[in-house]
Amino acid sequence: MKKNLIYTLIGCCILTLTACNDSIMDATSKHVYSESESPYLKVNADALVTKNMEFSVGHFAAQTINLSDYADKFKANMNMTVDQVISGLKDGTVVFYNINPTRNIWSKAPMTKGTTGWYYNSAGGVCASTDETLTASIDIDTNAKTLTVNATSAAKAGTVMPLNVGFAVKGPDYDNYVRFKFNVSIVDPSIILTSISIPAGDDGIFGIDFNQYAATIQTCMGMSVKDFLANLDYDSNTGNATTGTIHMYMVDPVTGAWDSKSDYTADKPGYWMNDKGVVWKWGVTGFTLYADTNSKDQKLYIGKASALKAGSEYKISIGYKDTKNEKNFFRFIITVTLQ
């Protein structure tokens, strides 16, 4: 009797252990994600490529990433060559998706930029081309084996946003991957902010040296300070028109609107203005400051009308634009204080 009881207990233990082993296997097996699920992103610092990308308003230029530059990462983290990754995209064994770092998941959001990529809003979310805050895009070129990141014409200066995309071996999970994080920032190098003080006296004047902003002029106009001044549409020494195509403009310091209708009202190229920074004429009630471009001295001179009150402050904006290539421009926003 006792012997039978012992055998019965041994049998129960064996069955219990077998059941436990099955439960352990079930708990540790890889989850197979369905097409409707967003796979969990397994953190792997070695699989991450981070690129800082700055785009300049008015001078946007696409930035391209060659996947072959990261062949070692693809091999180490996906055990694939770049060519195998591209082939996998075509046969479905590799996926290319966005990544939501906040929720730490892969996003299966469908492509919104044709069949090559996505558009993004100013918060870094996938959006349509009609989105009011459309800011950037990412494209993949499987033939060239590249990723291209670009800012859209609607991108606003001051925007900073991360874009995350990745390649992963499909199934049962997405743990074998290479991730690209693009830190995109939109800047406006065409704006020069400066403050000046005009000395007291009827002949008070201040000269802003263009050479201090040679880098901005090179970036925005594509030329040196000397060539920029040589291409102005008027010769400041003679006041005569030239064959140059660069025009000096008054710009609304608040709205940024360029005044393309007013003629020069001071020594050419130059303007008199009122206290709001609007084009004015000398001797007309309300005239306050003037701005003249002097090619010989390589300076933008800011002067004042006589009898203005010391301590008065004005904000003005002076811009320069190539009338033959309107993508080439820059402007000063100047805070002027009278001593």
pLDDT (tens digit per residue) in 88-125: 999 999 999 999 988 999 999 999 999 999 999 999 99
Q: Which region, left, alpha or beta, applies to residue 104 given φ > 0 means left and ψ of -120 to 50 means alpha?
A: left
Does position 57 have pLDDT exceeding 90, yes or no?
A: no
Mark whether 133 and 215 lie in a shared domain: no
Domain closes at, from 156, 187, 218: 187
Boundaries of domain holding 104: 45-187
- Write the pLDDT tens digit of every residue in 3-25: 555 555 455 554 454 444 444 44
Count: domains in the chain: 2
pLDDT in the model for residue 332? 96
Mark whether 214 and 251 lie in a shared domain: yes
Mark whether 199 and 330 lie in a shared domain: yes
Mark whether 196 and 318 lie in a shared domain: yes
C-alpha distances (whole Å) from 189 to each of 55, 58, 214, 217, 310 are 10, 9, 12, 9, 32
Mark whether 209 and 152 lie in a shared domain: no
Domain closes at, from 134, 169, 187: 187
- Write the pLDDT tens digit of every residue in 271-323: 999 999 999 999 999 999 999 999 999 999 999 998 888 889 999 999 999 99
Q: What residues pair up with 149 in beta bridges, in sequence order?
A: 63, 138
Mark whether 311 and 198 lie in a shared domain: yes
Whole-number average pLDDT of the chain: 90
Mark whether 272 and 167 lie in a shared domain: no
pTM greater than 0.75? no
Does position 144 have pLDDT exceeding 70, yes or no?
A: yes
Mark whether 150 and 62 lie in a shared domain: yes
What residue spans of the chain are helical by DSSP H?
2-28, 71-78, 82-91, 214-221, 225-230
Q: What is the DSSP string of 119-141?
A: EEETTS-EE-TT-TTEEEEEEEE
- Write the pLDDT tens digit of every residue in 195-213: 999 998 877 899 999 999 9
Strands 246-250 and 205-209: unpaired
Which CATH number does the domain housing residue 258 bear?
2.60.40
Mark whether 232 and 294 lie in a shared domain: yes
Burial pattern 198-211, b for ≥16 Cβ within 10 A else e, equals beeeeebebebebe
Domain closes at, from 125, 154, 187: 187
pLDDT in the model for residue 7? 53
Does position 27 have pLDDT exceeding 50, yes or no?
A: no
Mark whether 68 and 159 lie in a shared domain: yes
Mark whether 221 and 256 lie in a shared domain: yes
Percent of the chain with pLDDT over 70: 89
Mark whether 76 and 214 lie in a shared domain: no
